[in-house]
């Protein structure tokens, strides 16, 4: 399994949604730089990707790239902060934590130094050659994205999962497969690589037709990248299997639900379905019905009804088209309900605040 960070460029879906967070970061940094001459930006050779370059362009005398040296960058930021500057140090989150952790602990956290660190491109990256079984069993994925581990766990049998690869599964592009709806709902992207370089493709633009993808004949999938989920997000994948436990789904649905801080409003939602069309289907109209609305479980049934309009199933030995359409509505509702349960369970699982430390009272006459 690869542990590389996510691709540096802004994806099409980010552009569609508006601005990538890191793009807004670059602009905001420049804005505060205009107001305060003590603001300084430092980067570890990734300024274009983290968008600290936006600041660097406007204030070249207050912008430093330290090379591929995050640990060094943290030390420099600490020194600048102690000299009265306001340093913002940025890099890919994985590098910042992996390489800069010790320095952050020693030079920033212990001495309470006011330096700011900005990690971009958080998330999980899975190598194209990782097997389904590796995803299912990865402790990282089970902890951070249990819904994804669960999805891969529901693919066929152990023998199939031991052999099938993540890249091969997606390139295969059978609309009945399990991982695509979950990965689409999670906002995953695929890295397609050829002798001419690499490009990043949002998974909801990846499937073109029955067993057909947008991959060129010279491209292979080398990586699947899943972004970090925001706070108050729950995710669920459910598969309707009326025949045998190792069958392809009759209908499947994945939902990723994000609530606002007060957990009263649906801040965001992504819904995708499998086995109900020539490709996996993202139910965008159903999502639009929920986004920004107060959290009411009745709304999930309405979204299910809306999702039925997006599907186009065929009749086969797993069920008639009409039956599959009805089940699509039911499974979207259930996936949303399960995602909500996930949010509530996560809240319950959070460790209780530590009790205040009792003062140690030395007993008289006793040596320590």
List interacting residues with ligand FAD (CB under 6 A). 128, 155-156, 160, 163-165, 167-169, 171-172, 177-179, 215, 220-221, 248
Q: How far is the CB of 270 from ligand FAD (least distance, A)?
A: 19
Q: What is the largest CA-CA distance in the chain?
A: 86
Gap between the Cα atoms of 32 and 29, Å rounded: 5
Q: Between residues 222 and 346, which has the closer beta carbon with respect to ligand FAD?
A: 222
Q: How far is the CB of 171 from ligand FAD (least distance, A)?
A: 3
Q: Are strands 116-120 and 63-65 parallel, antiparallel or unpaired?
A: unpaired
Find the residue with minimal CB distance to ligand FAD.
Answer: 168
Give, in degrees to the nearest 5, the angle at Cα 6 between 117 and 93.
15
Nearest to 259 by CA among 287, 285, 291: 291
CA angle 101, 106, 110 (to 5 degrees): 115
Q: Nearest distance from residue 164's CB to ligand FAD, in Å? A: 3
Cα 355 to chain centroid distance, Å, stands at 33
Q: Give the nearer residue to ligand FAD in terms of CB position, either 153 or 306.
A: 153
Indicate the SS3 state at residue 147: helix
| 217 vs 355 by CB, closer to ligand FAD | 217
Closest CB 131 distance from ligand FAD, rounded Å: 8
**Side-chain half-sphere CA neighbours of 18 within 13 A:** 3
| Ranges assigned E (strand) in 31-176 | 39-43, 63-65, 86-92, 116-120, 123-127
Q: Which is nearer to ligand FAD, 21 or 198 (CB)?
A: 198
Smallest gap, in angstroms, from Cβ of residue 168 to ligand FAD? Answer: 2
Q: Do the beta carbons of residue 253 and residue 335 sit within 8 Å?
A: yes
Instruction: Quote the least distance from Cβ 257 to ligand FAD, whole Å.
Output: 23
Residue of 198, 195, 206 lying closest to 170 (CA atoms): 206
Q: Which is nearer to ligand FAD, 164 or 269 (CB)?
A: 164
Name the pairing type of β-strands 233-240 and 220-227. unpaired
Token code pair at residue 75: 């030390």
By C-beta, is 130 or 235 nearer to ligand FAD? 130
Q: Which is nearer to ligand FAD, 124 or 215 (CB)?
A: 215
| Least Cβ distance, residue 211 to ligand FAD (angstroms) | 9
Closer to ligand FAD by CB, 156 or 299: give it: 156
Q: How many CB atoms lie within 10 A of CB 364?
A: 5
Distance of alpha carbon 270 from the chain centroid? 12
What is the closest distance, in whole angstroms, from the C-beta atom of residue 50 to ligand FAD in the complex?
29
């Amino acid at each position: 399994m690869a542990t590389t960070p996510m691709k540096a460029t802004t994806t099409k879906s980010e552009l569609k949604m508006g601005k990538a967070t890191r793009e807004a970061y670059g602009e905001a940094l420049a804005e505060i730089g205009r107001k305060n001459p003590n603001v300084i930006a430092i980067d570890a050779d990734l300024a274009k990707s983290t968008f600290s370059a936006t600041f660097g362009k406007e204030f070249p005398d207050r912008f430093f790239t330290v090379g591929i040296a995050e640990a060094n960058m943290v030390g420099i930021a600490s020194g600048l902060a102690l000299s009265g500057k306001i340093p913002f140090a940025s890099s890919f989150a994985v590098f910042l934590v992996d390489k800069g952790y010790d320095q952050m602990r020693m030079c920033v956290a212990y001495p309470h130094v006011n330096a700011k660190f900005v990690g971009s491109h958080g998330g999980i990256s899975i190598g194209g050659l990782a097997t389904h079984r590796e995803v299912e069993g990865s402790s990282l994925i089970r902890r951070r994205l249990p819904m994804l581990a669960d999805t891969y766990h529901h693919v066929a049998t152990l023998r199939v999962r031991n052999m099938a690869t993540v890249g091969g599964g997606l390139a295969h592009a059978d609309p009945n497969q399990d991982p695509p709806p979950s990965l689409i709902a999670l906002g995953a992207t695929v890295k397609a690589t050829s002798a001419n370089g690499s490009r990043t493709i949002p998974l909801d633009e990846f499937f073109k037709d029955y067993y057909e993808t947008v991959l060129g004949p010279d491209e292979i999938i080398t990586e699947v990248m899943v972004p970090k989920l925001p706070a108050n997000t729950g995710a669920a994948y459910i598969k309707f299997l009326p025949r045998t436990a190792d069958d392809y789904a009759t209908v499947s649905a994945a939902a990723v639900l994000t609530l606002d801080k007060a957990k009263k409003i649906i801040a965001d939602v992504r819904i995708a379905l499998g086995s109900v069309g020539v490709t996996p289907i993202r139910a965008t109209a159903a999502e639009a019905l929920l986004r920004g609305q107060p959290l009411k479980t009745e709304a999930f049934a309405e979204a299910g009804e809306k999702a039925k309009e997006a599907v186009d199933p065929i009749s086969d030995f797993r069920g008639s088209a009409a039956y599959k359409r009805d089940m699509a509505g039911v499974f979207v509702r259930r996936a949303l309900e399960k995602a909500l349960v996930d949010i509530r369970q996560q809240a319950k699982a959070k460790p209780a605040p530590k009790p205040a430390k009792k003062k140690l009272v030395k007993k008289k006459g006793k040596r320590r």
